[in-house]
Amino acid sequence: MRLSARSALPRNLALGFLSLLLLAGLLSDWVAPRSVASAAALQSGLADTRGWELLAWWMLATRNVLAVSATASLIGALFGSALGALAIYGSGGVAGALSRLVGFTGAFPGLLLVGLFRLGDPSHGVLALLAALSLLRTLEVAQLVRAELLNALLGDFVEASRALGASRRWQLRAHVVPRVTRPLVANLLQGACALIGLEAALSFVGLGLPAGVPSWGAGLAAVARAPSLLPFAVAAGSIGLACAALYGLGASLAAAPARSGGTAGAALVALGAAR
C-alpha cells in the first residue's frame, strides 16, 4: 500500500500541475485584462515585470500554449485515427504511401515546414503554426493507429471470436478499440509534450505565434538576456514542467502492463515510422 502511494505520487503531481495549467488558462480572460491594458505590451516588457503582471502574462501565455497544443493534438488525433484506419484497407498503395509520407515528413525539419506555411498565412502565424503542428501529429498518429489496428485485427483472439460467430462490430468494441485507445492516449500525451517544446522553440525564434501574443517560448526569448531571474524561471519552468508532466503521464501509461499484442504494436509503429 505504501509502495503504491509512492509510485502514484509523481503521477498525481503531474496531474495536479496540468490541472493548474488548465485552470490558469481558463481563468486568464478574467484575470489578465484587469491587470494590463495590452498583452503585447506585457510580453515586450516581460523582463521588468513583477508580481501580478507576471502572473497575468503567465496565465495568458499558458492559455495560448495550451490552446495551440490541444488543438493540434486533437486535430492530429482525429485525422490521424481516420487516416490510419483507412490505411489498413489499402495494404499496398495507401499504406505504402502513408508509410513513405510519414518517413519523409519525419525527416523534414518542422521549423522549415512551419516557416513555409507561415509565408502564405494571412493570420501571421496562428494558422500556419496550427496547420504544421497538426500535420506532423496527424501523420504520426495515423502510423500508430494503423500499426495497432493491424496488430489487433490479426490477433488470435480476434480470429477465435470470429470463429465463435462474433460480429465485426462486437470485435471492434471488445478487442480492437480497447487495444488502440491506451497507446493512442499515451502517444497523444507524449506528442503534446513534443508540441509544447516545438511551439516554444518556434516562438523563441519568431516563427511561432504572432509577435505580441504571449507564449512561453516568446517570453523566454524576451528575457533570455535580462538580468532578472524570476520571469526567466517562470517561462523556462513552465516549458520544462509541462513537458515533464505530459511526458511522464504518457510514459507511465505506456509502461503499465499491456494486453497481449501491445508490445508488438509498438514495434510496428517504429517500423512504420522508419519506412
Residues at the interface with another protein (CB under 8 A): 10, 88, 91-92, 95-96, 99-100, 102-112, 115-116, 118-120, 136, 140, 147, 150, 190, 193-194, 197-198, 200-201, 204-207, 217, 220, 224-225, 232, 236, 239-241, 243-244, 247-248, 251-252, 254-255, 263, 266-268, 270-275
Nearest by Cα to 103 from 74, 73, 142, 133: 142
Sign of the alpha-carbon torsion through 145, 148, 154, 157: negative
Residue 57 and residue 46 in contact, taking contact as beta carbons nearer than 8 Å = yes
CB of 255 to another protein, least distance (A): 4
Judged by beta carbon, residue 32 or residue 218, the one nearer another protein is: 218
Q: What separation in angstroms does the CA of 11 have from each of 1, 17, 182, 192?
A: 16, 10, 16, 16
CB of 9 to another protein, least distance (A): 13
Q: How many CA atoms lie within 13 Å of 215's alpha carbon, on the beta-carbon side?
A: 30
Task: Give CA–CA dist 15/17, Å, rounded.
Answer: 5
d(CA 244, CA 260): 28
| Residue (32 or 243) nearer to another protein, CB | 243
Taking the complex as a whole, how short is the minimal distance between the CB of residue 5 and another protein, in angstroms?
16
* Minimum CB distance to another protein, residue 82 (Å): 18
CB of 55 to another protein, least distance (A): 21
CB closer to another protein out of 130 and 243: 243
Q: Return the percent helix, strand and coil in the chain, to nearest 5.
A: 80, 0, 20
Q: CB-wise, 36 or 265, nearer to another protein?
A: 265
Measured from the CB atom, the residue of 10 and 31 that comes closer to another protein is: 10
Nearer to another protein among residue 25 and residue 250 (C-beta): 250
Closest approach of another protein to the CB of residue 176, in Å: 16
DSSP 210: P
